[in-house]
Amino acid sequence: MLASPHQQGAQHGCRRAVITRAYRHDLNGSHLEPGAPQLEVDRVSLTFGGVRALDDVSLDVVQGEIHAIIGPNGAGKTSLLNCISGLYRPDGGRIILHGGDADHSLARARPSRIARWGVARSFQNIELFRHLSVLDNLLLGRHVHMRHRLLPSLWYWGSARRQEIAQRDLVEEVIDLLEIQAHRHKPVGSLAYGIQKRVELGRALAMQPAVLLLDEPMAGMNVEEKEDMARYVLDVNELAGVTVVLIEHDMEVVMDISRRVSVLDFGLLIASGPPDAVRQDEKVLEAYLGQEHTA
Amino acid sequence: MAATATGIYHRSYRSELALRHTQAEYARLTLAAAVVVAVPFVATPYWQTVANQIGIAVVGAIGLNILTGYTGQISLGQGGFLAVGAYTSAILVERLGAPTLVGVVAAILMTAAVGAFFGLPALRLKGLYLAIATLASQFIILYAVRNWEFVTGGVQALVVGTPTLFGFELNTDFRWYWVILACAAAATVAGTNLFRTGLGRAFMAIRDQDIAAEAVGVNTVTYKVLAFAVSSGFVGLAGALTAHWTTIVTWERFTLDVSILYLAMIIVGGLGSVSGSIYGAVFMIVVPAWITQVAQDLRGQLSFLARELPAIQLGVFGLIIILFLIFEPRGLARIWHRMKDYVRLWPFRY
Ligand SMILES: Nc1ncnc2c1ncn2[C@@H]1O[C@H](COP(=O)(O)OP(=O)(O)OP(=O)(O)O)[C@@H](O)[C@H]1O
Ligand SMILES: [Mg+2]
């Protein structure tokens, strides 16, 4: 079998007092101190024909936190994530990603550029590379950290081979964290839904992101799988220190694991704050009750 | 596929990443090498020519598979790109007196550039629409070849002298066989390596899910154009080899049927598989050659058969492609995998 990455990792881990688990690689790509503003969404609007999917939405995501975005179906949650990761171009507003040395304006930048700046994401309907193995999917998460030169790739000599082996190391760490060792070499298209969701989280995590955007990572899972997934997300946040923006419908999970909750309804941000405050908020109750009445 | 991987444990990533692990794999490779070396010593002149055609087709099919099978960008411009390679090298060597090697390298680069240019529609178009856009490139290139008489000689054939390599004049099929074999082997190794590295992985990511590819940081614009360029580079080599081996370059060799023949090779052999490109090239060259031979043997008794030969060949081709698309879209490569697993696991079938 492969040597466990943790055997050598233990000595490194000792120096970092807060964590219980030894990491060889820092999965957090942010250079900011915990508590510093990481991502700033400023008066973002987006329309589709007559539909206002986002209406002057502003929110701040803080480094090191889990920030949940909730709201009824069609509220604009996915649209907001798509604006942040560059898949949609907002009609107005700014989205700023704070970096160690430079700030990046995300609105209207190319998605691949945004990924390079440190924004990783998962999708509501799993979007994996179906025919590729779990390993290859995770290695694609390393794309921006690798150099891709044609001739060394064709020869597979020197730098190209060394790089493949070096990147494999970090990917194995993610595989261990998410407990998908048994599936390493299988094509992801053949895996169970719950495992695919985990692989998608892994692919985003392998990017060593500054901000991790998760679009309903627990949707369609049974209670047990949900608990597992919630634990992985917590692990990623607490142990690895990765900032997470989480869209989720399950209120219990949201209230449990997030530090801050923002509520969207018909494209409007109707509340934002700590879970307990948001739970009591008039407008939020109304939005959810209203939905129950009409449903 | 899974079955061949079980029961093997690796002590390092490096050994796991090696292409071959078991003795059976080395044995098969040795056997294949022995057959390939033996071919020119036992083949009749007719089959010697066929063997050379196969070698060139292998290079071209791997090139097309990089684009269509691995990156998911269908191309009907293969014939045109082969023409670019053939004419570039022929013109440089024959008209400007460049050494053959320089001509061939220039053909690779030139075809890569032309391929990248005609790949630009892929940034906007997918599937059938892209097929039609690449079809246009096929016609544009051939139109240019036929009408740019001052450079290409137009519809007149361009005659190329036989080159010399390491003091050998390449004037027989037997000598050419080794040159073509070396090129086919190099293309195979390069193609295989490409998809062991991050670059090839980015190509496959675009094929499987282009939005997710962007989201992990693959610039799909750059990489699609790059896929066209790399693929066309291989095709340019195949074109240049055709030019110098046949010593006559005419536009009729690069028509739309050639594009379709190459697509058939990679569909029958296996999309997204380097070995599949080889099986497909062998199959699609050998079958018509064999039909031709049979028809010639029967010429005395069944003259109508010889007359209808082109129609029969087309019919057989169409039938084969349809059968593969229906019954084994992953081609001969997949069938070969299954056979290996079957033998390995026998008598435990499940
Ligand atoms: N690509 C698109 N084209 C047209 N309309 C869109 C598009 N994407 C989103 N919308 C519309 O924008 C609104 C918000 O959709 P969005 O997917 O962001 O909601 P959501 O909060 O993620 O909902 P859910 O909980 O169902 O995932 C909806 O009315 C939807 O129909
Ligand atoms: Mg959604």
SS3 for A157-174 is CCHHHHHHHHHHHHHHHH
What's the rounded mean pLDDT across residues A184-202? 94
**What is the rounded CA–CA span in Å between residue B101 and residue B80?**
22
Q: How distant, in Å, are the alpha carbons of A103, A156, A253, B112, B344 from that of A153?
A: 33, 5, 45, 17, 32
Mean pLDDT of A110-135: 95
Bridge partners (DSSP) listed for residue B252: none
Task: Taking the CA atoms of A72, A76, A81 and A84 in sequence, report the sign of the dihedral they define.
Answer: negative
Q: What pLDDT is stored for residue B332 in this prediction?
A: 82
Distance CA B275, CA B262 (A): 15
- Measured in angstroms, how far is the CA atom of residue B121 from the centroid of ligand 1? 29
What's the confidence (pLDDT) of residue B219?
A: 96
Beta strand A103-105 pairing with A92-98? antiparallel
Q: Are strands A243-247 and A211-215 parallel, antiparallel or unpaired?
A: parallel
Predicted pLDDT at B115: 96
pLDDT of residue B178: 95
| pLDDT > 70: percent of chain B | 92
Q: Is the CB of A70 under 6 A from ligand 1?
A: no
Half-sphere exposure of A139 (CA within 13 A, CB side): 26
User: Does position A12 have pLDDT exceeding 60, yes or no?
Assistant: no
Give me the amino acid identity at A65.
E
Q: Is the pLDDT of residue A24 over 80?
A: no
d(CA A126, CA A134): 14
Q: What is the pLDDT of residues B141-183, one digit of tens each?
A: 999 989 988 888 878 888 888 887 877 888 888 999 999 999 9
* Residue A29 pLDDT grade (very low, low, confident, very high; cuts 50, 70, 90): confident
A163 with B200: CB under 8 angstroms?
Answer: no
User: Is the minimum CB–CB distance between A273 and chain B shorter than 8 Å?
Assistant: no
CATH architecture of the domain formed by B43-345: Orthogonal Bundle (1.10)
At A95, phi and psi to the nearest 5? -130, 120
Question: What is the pLDDT, as a whole number, of residue B177?
Answer: 95
Residue B133, pLDDT above cutoff 60: yes
The torsion angle over the Cα atoms of residues A28, A32, A36 and A42, rounded to 10 degrees, is -80
Cis peptide before B347 (omega within 30 of 0): yes
pLDDT confidence bin for A282, thresholds 50/70/90: confident
User: What SS3 string covers A27-52?
Assistant: CCCCCCCCCCEEEEEEEEEEEECCEE
Q: How confident is the model at residue B294 (pLDDT cuts 50, 70, 90)?
A: confident
Whether residue A81 has its Cβ less than 6 Å from ligand 1: no
- Residue A220 has a CB neighbour count (10 Å cut-off) of 12
User: Distance (Å) from the C-alpha of residue B207 to the closest C-alpha of chain A?
Assistant: 8
Instruction: Check if A74 has its Cβ closer than 6 Å to any atom of ligand 1.
Output: yes
Q: How many CB atoms lie within 10 A of CB A285?
A: 13
Q: Report residue A289's pLDDT band, with 50, 70 and 90 as the boundaries.
A: low
pLDDT(A6) > 50? no
Q: In this predicted structure, what is the pLDDT of residue B138?
A: 93
Residue range A215-250, pLDDT digits in tens: 999 998 888 999 999 999 999 999 888 999 999 988
pTM for the complete prediction?
0.90
Judge whether residue B243 has pLDDT over 60: yes
- For the stretch B80-116, pLDDT in tens is 999 999 999 999 999 898 999 999 999 999 999 999 9
Ligand nearest to the Cα of A80, by number: 1
Proportion of chain A above pLDDT 70, given as a percent: 89
Phi, psi of A69 (to 5 degrees): -120, 120
pLDDT of residue A239: 85
Closest CA to ligand 1's atom 17: A78
Pairs of residues, one from chain A and one from chain B, whose beta carbons lie less than 8 Å apart: 129
- Above 80 in pLDDT, residue A67? yes
Q: Is A166 on the interface with B (CB under 8 A)?
A: no
Per-residue confidence (pLDDT) for residue B176, from 0 to 100: 94
Atom index in ligand 1 nearest the CA of residue A267 equals 14
Report, in angstroms and rounded to the nearest whole number, the Rg of chain B calculated over CA atoms.
21
pLDDT over 70 (residue A293): no
CB atoms B215 and A3 under 8 Å: no
Domains of chain A by start residue, with CATH: 37-118+210-289 (3.40.50.300), 126-208 (no CATH)
Cα angle A147, A149, A153 (rounded to 5 degrees) comes to 105
Q: What is the mean pLDDT of chain B?
A: 88
Whether residue B3 is predicted with pLDDT greater than 70 in this model: the reply is no
